[in-house]
Amino acid sequence: MEQTHKKLEGRLIIVAYRLPFKIVQENDHIQLIQNSGGLVSAVLSLAQSQQNAHFQFADKIQWVGYTENTPEELEGQNIENENFRAHPVFIPSELNEHYYEGFCNDLLWPLCHYFPSLAKFEDKYFDSYQAANQLFFEKVRAILQPNDVIWVQDYQLMILPELLRQEFPDHKIGFFFHIPFPSFEIFRLLPTRWRIALINGMLGADVVGFHTNDYVEYFLKAVRMVVGHGNKLHYINLSSRIVKVDAFPISIDYQKFNQAFDDMEVVRYRSDARHSLTEKIIFSVDRLDYSKGLLYRLHGFQRFLENCPEWHGKVSFVMIVVPSRDQIEQYQQMKSDIDQTVGRINALFGKINWQPIIYQYRSLSFEELVGMYTASDVALITPIRDGMNLVCKEYVASRKDLRGVLILSEMAGAAAELGEALIINPTDSQDIAYAIKKGLEMPLDEQTKRMLAMQGRLKEYDVFAWTNDFFTQMIMIEQEQEKLRQY
Ligand code: GDG
């Protein structure tokens, strides 16, 4: 089908906590090392594959984000690569500690992932959150041009849209929330002043996006309860403006993962894994985080080994945990619990020629990752909560051979779109054990049927459809705002 493009006069300014690359000083020049992660992958696809994008912006994508470098290091440097031009935000380390480690990661992250007992409520965290959002605001203000479209990302920047709106009433501003928006009973745990600031902050945008309809509903209830605005069909009327709230399930560059199946390096990693491991392979990859359900997953695998002795020696569980935040005591404790549980299960069930769990604490290259996706018989993705989870979508997209079984937590946003997966409750080890057995024994024709259905959906709604959907809403809402101004 012929692709239609809409050319926009302005530039796209992404504002996210982090820049999309690390900036490394090398003698007299700087080197940019691409970060990974859901948002970077999504926007990178948009930048790299402009022929697939429905919207084309003036100039390359501008990215405002925090960097660990000092202003002196970057003085006079043009920080850009073929995809992005970076506008670094410098946050003093103590402020960043209270803002990012504190308010974002010790309060918002656990609350939004339904771990209220881990949340720390400290006034200095909130004050720092406001101060840091102000620094992002100042950077955007310094670079903003008349037709630019601003797209603010995630829970680190919830009050930025309102700061921008106050100074730039006519700019298009979008906001996207990448983690679960919690039910009101959780959200109301925040002190009143904070709740009001966060909700009003987000309402500074023209379009506020979430991954699922549930998150949209929870947000609309929070808006009603905290600041008293109702909505009509997800439009919130603020008298001077309208805000559209909707679900935009983030996706992946489907073709990139599907085509990677035949990449030479991927083929080599796949055949290495198949030749060196057992008849069947189970695979998982996650960042080290309590929301990922890693210990429950191991308990589920143990239960499977207890229930199914006929599978001993015939299956390996390759569990990759990507290092994250491991300077923090709680994460070190979690890692040590995982290390011990893996050791215990391997000691209990392993044989001289068979190790049930192959556990590695490192990240993989893209080729290794897809090599493992396509070598495995079962992908075991069992977060306790996850805004969306892109790993499961990548797994499905990469299976050009139409084989493989996805076991997926009902608590991942992606479960709403991938109903043909074996859906489990992530804390129920019996449920996980049963799904593993079912997955390993699933006939090929059933695997194919399920894969085809899921692939069809992902192919249709890929990352380009995601951005297209979001920007289409931004343009539609502008027309609505225009009508409102005429009254
Ligand atoms: C937030 C939300 C939501 C991971 N390990 C390796 C690797 N990855 C890549 C995956 C995937 C991405 O990182 C992780 O995807 P997530 O969906 O977990 O995204 P996050 O950015 O961590 O999290 C989440 C997402 O935002 C998007 O809105 O889905 O719920 O928490 O792309 O492939 N890539 C490589 N090696 C690894 O070891 N190359």
- The answer to whether the CB of 37 is under 6 A from ligand 1 is yes
Of the candidates 68, 170, 177, 91, the one whose C-alpha atom is nearest the C-alpha of residue 137 is 91
Distances, alpha carbon 393 to alpha carbons 108, 141, 417, in Å: 25, 36, 10
Ligand 1: nearest atom to the Cα of 250: 28
Instruction: Give the pLDDT of residue 1.
Output: 43
CA gap 42, 337 in Å, rounded: 33
Instruction: Note whether 124 and 99 are within 8 A (CB).
Output: no
Instruction: Give the pLDDT of residue 329.
Output: 87
Instruction: Give the pLDDT of residue 370.
Output: 98
**DSSP secondary structure string for all residues of 20-49:** SEEEEEETTEEEEEE--SHHHHHHHHHHHT
Hey, which of 156, 391, 408, 466 would you mutate to test ligand 1's pocket, going by the most ligand atoms within 8 Å of its Cβ? Answer: 391
Residue with CA at minimum distance from ligand 1 atom 39: 366
CA gap 153, 170 in Å, rounded: 19
- The answer to whether the CB of 366 is under 6 A from ligand 1 is yes
Of the candidates 146, 53, 155, the one whose C-alpha atom is nearest the C-alpha of residue 102 is 155
Instruction: Note whether 189 and 150 are within 8 A (CB).
Output: no
User: How many A from CA of 311 to the centre of ligand 1?
Assistant: 31
Question: CB 255: neighbour CB atoms within 10 A?
Answer: 15
Instruction: Give the pLDDT of residue 487.
Output: 64
Hey, which of 36, 325, 374 would you mutate to test ligand 1's pocket, going by the most ligand atoms within 8 Å of its Cβ? Answer: 36
Of the candidates 482, 479, 423, the one whose C-alpha atom is nearest the C-alpha of residue 450 is 423
Distances, alpha carbon 100 to alpha carbons 110, 126, 135, 188, in Å: 13, 10, 13, 21
User: How many A from CA of 272 to the centre of ligand 1?
Assistant: 24
User: How many A from CA of 142 to the centre of ligand 1?
Assistant: 31
Structure-token pair, residue 327: 């300077």
CA 380 vs. chain centroid, Å, equals: 18
Hey, which of 388, 408, 466 would you mutate to test ligand 1's pocket, going by the most ligand atoms within 8 Å of its Cβ? Answer: 388
Give the pLDDT confidence of 443-478 residue by residue, as tens digits. 999 999 999 999 999 999 999 899 889 999 998 888
User: How many A from CA of 394 to the centre of ligand 1?
Assistant: 10
Residue with CA at minimum distance from ligand 1 atom 8: 37
- The answer to whether the CB of 250 is under 6 A from ligand 1 is yes
Give the pLDDT confidence of 19-68 residue by residue, as tens digits. 999 999 887 788 999 887 788 888 887 787 666 566 778 888 999 999 99
The segments of the chain whose pLDDT lies below 70 read: 1-7, 49-54, 487
Classify 357 as helix, strand or coil.
Answer: strand
Instruction: Give the pLDDT of residue 7.
Output: 66
Number of H helices, E strands in the chain: 18, 18
Instruction: Give the pLDDT of residue 29.
Output: 82
User: How many A from CA of 389 to the centre of ligand 1?
Assistant: 7
CA gap 136, 157 in Å, rounded: 8
Give the pLDDT confidence of 194-243 residue by residue, as tens digits. 999 999 999 999 999 999 999 999 999 999 999 999 999 999 999 889 99
- The answer to whether the CB of 41 is under 6 A from ligand 1 is yes
Residue with CA at minimum distance from ligand 1 atom 36: 364
Instruction: Give the pLDDT of residue 423.
Output: 98
Ligand 1: nearest atom to the Cα of 291: 31
User: How many A from CA of 309 to the centre of ligand 1?
Assistant: 34
Instruction: Note whether 236 and 223 are within 8 A (CB).
Output: yes
CA 46 vs. chain centroid, Å, equals: 16
Please give the ipTM for the structure prediction.
0.99
> What CA dihedral angle connects 426, 431, 435 and 438, to 10 degrees?
180
- The answer to whether the CB of 364 is under 6 A from ligand 1 is yes
DSSP state of 105: I
Residue with CA at minimum distance from ligand 1 atom 23: 38
User: How many A from CA of 211 to the centre of ligand 1?
Assistant: 14
User: How many A from CA of 351 to the centre of ligand 1?
Assistant: 34
Compute the chain's Rg from CA coordinates. 23
Ligand 1: nearest atom to the Cα of 366: 39
Greatest distance between any 2 Cα atoms in the chain: 79
User: How many A from CA of 42 to the centre of ligand 1?
Assistant: 10
Residue with CA at minimum distance from ligand 1 atom 19: 38
Instruction: Give the pLDDT of residue 155.
Output: 98
